[in-house]
Amino acid sequence: MPKVPISCFIIAKNEGDRIAQTIRSLRPWANEVVVIDSESTDNTVSVALAEGCRVITQPWLGFGAQKRFGEDQCRNDWVFNIDADEVVTPELAQEIIATFKNGNPKFVAYGLPIDLVYPGAEAPRPLARDHWYVRLYNRRFIRFRNSNVHDAVVTDGVAVGALKSPIYHYSMRSFADMKRKLDERTWLMVENAGSTSQGVLASRLIVELPMNFFKYYIVRRHWTGGLVGLRYASIQAVFRFLKIYRVLRSDKTKTSARDVTA
């Protein structure tokens, strides 16, 4: 398989049990793979080195800032971002190679589908199309947003091409792992939440759970996953509800503190 002038970068912490499959899906076609390790205490670094990656240790800066740091470490201007729990499918690898076959691609950024794989499964459920993100891009034109919570590439004013083949996302080691990650992310969002009126938050609290269950179960088609899909959609909806509830409680606590000190 011919290699293309793309630097793939991965931010990771304690991913030694699964980062190898991610790297192995990149090495056949990308001429550089960089791992940004956030002070792992497991064998993440040794696994990445054994797989032929360049490894750089960087204490955690926040989601967006960590990925911007990763962009800066790449030797190519064309970069491909992938998480340590994701795998490039052979079809996507071939599509990326074809995109670079005649030199510079038509667009400076490309989005692609992300297909979630349930715990214990090897492939996505039927009709899986959970997300569509920009992952392949030229860093001279666009970059990740500098945010503690959100890690999205800013594409304002840039035409974005589309790749058809997916990344497989092995997000959850188990449903317990899913709940832990959602709980941590929810508290992080609470800490970084802007000011919103309590009336608006209270209104959202009423609709947040059923609205998000509908979003995940019906719109994102987790109904095709049977009981596992039902469980996944329910957990997502509950944590979306908890996020609003925790922001509301946090705002009330701040208001009470101001009243006491006034």
Q: Is the pLDDT of residue 198 over 80?
A: no
Residue 257's pLDDT is what?
37
Do 137 and 36 have their domain in common? yes
Q: Is 226 exposed, middle or buried (0-12, 13-18, 19+ CB in 10 A)?
A: exposed
Give the mean pLDDT of the chain: 90
The last residue of one of the domains, among 116, 134, 169, is 169
Residue 59, token pair as written in the block: 């204490």
Q: With cut-offs at 50, 70 and 90, classify the pLDDT of residue 126.
A: confident
pLDDT value of residue 200: 73
Domain count, the chain: 2
Residue 189 and residue 233 share a domain: yes
Residue 166 has pLDDT above 50, yes or no: yes
Model confidence pLDDT, tens digit, residues 33-49:
999 999 999 999 999 99
pLDDT band at 102 (very low <50, low <70, confident <90, very high): confident
> Are 180 and 256 within one domain?
yes
In this structure, are 164 and 64 located in the same domain?
A: yes
Q: Please indicate, yes or no, whether residues 123 and 93 belong to a single structural domain of this protein.
A: yes
Note whether 28 and 123 are same-domain residues.
yes
Residues 86 and 121 in one domain: yes
More confident residue, 201 or 182: 182
Q: Which of 144, 169, 194 is the last residue of a domain?
A: 169
- Which range, 14-28, 146-160, 172-186, is most confident? 14-28
pLDDT at site 197: 63
Number of H helices, E strands in the chain: 7, 9
**What pLDDT is recorded for position 193?**
65
pLDDT for position 43: 98
Residues 106-123 have pLDDT tens digits of 999 999 999 999 988 999
193, 250 in Cβ contact below 8 A? yes
What is the rounded (10 degree) CA torsion for 141, 147, 152, 155?
A: -30
**157 Rama sector, left if φ>0, alpha if ψ -120 to 50, beta otherwise:** left
Phi and psi dihedrals of 220, rounded to 5? Answer: -90, 5
Among 151, 169, 187, the domain-final residue is 169
Q: What is the pLDDT of residue 258?
A: 37
Burial label, 200 (beta-carbon count in 10 A; 0-12, 13-18, 19+): exposed
pLDDT digits (tens, 9 = 90+) for 239-262: 999 888 888 887 554 444 333 333
Do 139 and 255 share a domain, yes or no?
no
* Domain coverage including residue 251: 175-261
Report, as an integer, the average pLDDT of 70-83: 98
Give the least confident one: 18-27, 59-68, 225-234, 253-262: 253-262
Q: What is the pLDDT of residues 211-243, one digit of tens each?
A: 999 999 999 999 999 999 999 999 999 999 988
* Separation CA 195–CA 58 (nearest Å): 31
Bridge partners of 136, per DSSP, are 80, 110
Q: Give the pLDDT score at 31.
A: 96
CA distance linking residue 160 with residue 77, whole number of Å: 17
